[in-house]
Amino acid sequence: MVTKIKQGSLVVCLFLFLFVVIGGGLHLNPGGAFLAAATGTPLVIHVFNRRWAGRATGSVRRVAEGHAADHTVAFETETVVRQ
């Protein structure tokens, strides 16, 4: 329950931030600023979630690849020593 309240309040804060920054920066009327913030908020959340998920997956993938590369080098060394 607390997590949902925190997420909801963050969405409201992001909406208000975009409303003020976009509306003031582009000198939009209140309706245009509202529309820009209403469409920008889900877009910003989506982009943030995609980047966060990509970094977490990528870091795990890099660790796994590095670990596999270490084993490959060890196997190659054993092959050379055996010859």
Interval 15-71: pLDDT, tens:
999 999 998 999 999 999 999 999 999 999 999 888 888 665 555 445 445 545 555
Cβ atoms 51, 62 nearer than 8 A = no
Instruction: Specify the DSSP class assigned to residue 22.
Output: H
> Each residue of 73-82: pLDDT tens digit?
555 555 555 5
| CA separation for the pair 55, 52 (Å, rounded) | 5
**Number of domains forming the structure of the chain:** 1
- Give me the pLDDT at residue 56, please: 57
Identify the domain containing residue 65 by its residue range.
2-82
- Whether the model clears a pTM of 0.75, i.e. scores above it, the answer is no
